[in-house]
């Protein structure tokens, strides 16, 4: 694909401020150059193509431009067809489309808007009017980004524990349900570790809840840092954590659990009241490849193994069975 390379005025100056990306599609080379000059002066990051098919190819990129300046009359795929094609796709971000044309009949305007254009500008047009209409598009796109960020924040808060920032109880149980189904379909085994901080009530009673919260956060951080990249770690409740370990055998999951135990026990946690030595107990269970263990049964097996670890002196790992 032939796309004319264009740099922004800001990037040419070495400024780190990102520019709004804009795609220009027009078959008139001279007009493209004029538009390019204006847009660069207005600090847009510009991609320029000469027809609708090349513009459509640009829109297949992972992060396509979100502000589009399209000519109606182009060879091959024209602006109307391009609008319809873009609107037929499910995109993460809504692209704002300004259609340029020499047509000025009311029916043409209706056709453009029906095809998916957000705005319509008749050639020849005043440069200040183009600038103002693009600013409208930028305001809408800015609002879209704010809404996306707000949605992502709400999604994060709904699935993460507010204190430790790891997965919360609802999320980790949902992942367990999903991973059990995946393991059953693939014939792989699934490991589950239930972790409890030893004598945590004593930490709270001795040092106060603020230090207790710090201990919880640090334990969560160490556990998260020491699980495999494809495992899941979440706060189950209070001072308990759940770790889902895919494709695990009894032997390798016990070794993994010992590493997690050591990650907590081997180094005291630094607090404003001085270093505090903390240990954990871990109950381990495995859903074998030929098994169809239900979630509640696996959780119960882990809980039983954890209780046995507590009974046998804490700071240890016990396997269910």
Distance CA 122, CA 114 (A): 17
Q: Is 239 a catalytic residue?
A: yes
Burial class (CB in 10 A: 0-12, 13-18, 19+), 61: exposed
Encode burial over 123-152: b for 16+ CB neighbours within 10 A, e otherwise.
eeeeeeebeebbeebbeebeeeeeeeeeee
Distance CA 200, CA 207 (A): 11
50, 239, 240, 318: the catalytic one is 239
3-state secondary structure of 225: helix
Taking CA atoms, 52 is separated from 49, 55, 279, in Å, by 8, 5, 64
- Name the DSSP class of 17: P
| 321 cis-preceded (ω within 30 degrees of 0) | no
DSSP H helical ranges for 116-231 = 127-159, 169-186, 200-207, 209-226
For the annotated catalytic residues, the residue numbers are: 239
């Amino acid at each position: 694909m032939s796309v004319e390379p264009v740099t922004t005025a800001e990037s040419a100056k070495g400024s780190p401020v990102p520019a709004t990306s804009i795609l220009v599609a027009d078959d008139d080379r001279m007009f493209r150059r004029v538009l390019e000059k204006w847009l660069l002066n207005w600090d847009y990051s510009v991609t320029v193509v000469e027809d609708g098919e090349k513009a459509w190819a640009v829109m297949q990129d992972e992060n396509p431009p979100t502000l589009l300046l399209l000519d109606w009359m182009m060879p091959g795929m024209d602006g109307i067809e391009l609008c319809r094609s873009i609107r037929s796709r499910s995109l993460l971000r809504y692209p704002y489309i300004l259609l340029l044309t020499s047509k000025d009949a009311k029916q043409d305007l209706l056709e453009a808007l029906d095809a998916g254009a957000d705005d319509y500008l008749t050639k020849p047009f005043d440069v200040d009017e183009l600038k103002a209409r693009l600013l409208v598009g930028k305001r809408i796109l800015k609002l879209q980004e704010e809404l996306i960020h707000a949605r992502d924040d709400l999604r994060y808060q709904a699935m993460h524990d507010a204190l430790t920032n790891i997965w919360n109880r609802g999320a980790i149980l949902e992942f367990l349900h999903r991973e059990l189904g995946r393991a059953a379909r693939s014939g792989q085994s699934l490991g589950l570790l239930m972790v409890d901080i030893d004598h945590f009530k004593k930490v709270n009673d001795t040092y106060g809840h603020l230090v207790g919260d710090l201990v919880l956060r640090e334990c969560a951080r160490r556990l998260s840092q020491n699980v495999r990249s494809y495992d899941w770690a979440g706060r189950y409740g209070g001072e308990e954590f759940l770790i889902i370990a895919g494709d695990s055998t009894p032997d390798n999951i016990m070794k993994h659990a010992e590493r997690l135990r050591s990650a907590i026990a081997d180094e005291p946690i630094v607090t404003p009241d001085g270093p505090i030595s903390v240990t954990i107990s871990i109950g381990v269970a495995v859903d074998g490849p030929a098994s169809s263990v239900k979630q509640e049964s696996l959780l119960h097996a882990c809980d039983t193994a954890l209780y046995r670890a507590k009974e046998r002196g804490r700071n240890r790992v016990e396997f269910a069975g």
